[in-house]
Structure 1
């Protein structure tokens, strides 16, 4: 055993017959940079979505009648568009 491991700093010795795990060390290089960039974008998207949902919530609380009307119209448009696309797909792939 070396002096560093005996002082409590560094890896502990493995028991006899055990195999050291591979791939658990921190990775560096392009893949690690890509993952870090993806994680950075991920929290920014969550923050943006959270802030974007506050405004419609406030509007719904301030103007409940108008909000209900708009939601009803948007739901009707959604059903109409979905129905047209499903009908078109059914005709196309008979």
Structure 2
């Protein structure tokens, strides 16, 4: 493994695990009050569309950038869980 490949793996592993604490906290507490819809939806579709772009390019070349695949697959799953959690647990509080 050359140094740049190591850097790629290391960076993408950090990005992949960076979202996990938020997912765990949301799973445990069901608190989604700090998430706003524009952020969640832009993040979710951004990682999804970027993954599609990377996957299509890799398949066309026949050379796969596995660190990017790891990062984007983990982020797609985590982000779409957070979107689901926001939808399921996000309640609008109405004043009495």
Task: Tell me, yes or no, whether TM beats 0.5.
Answer: no
Higher relative contact order (CA 8 A, sep 6+): 2
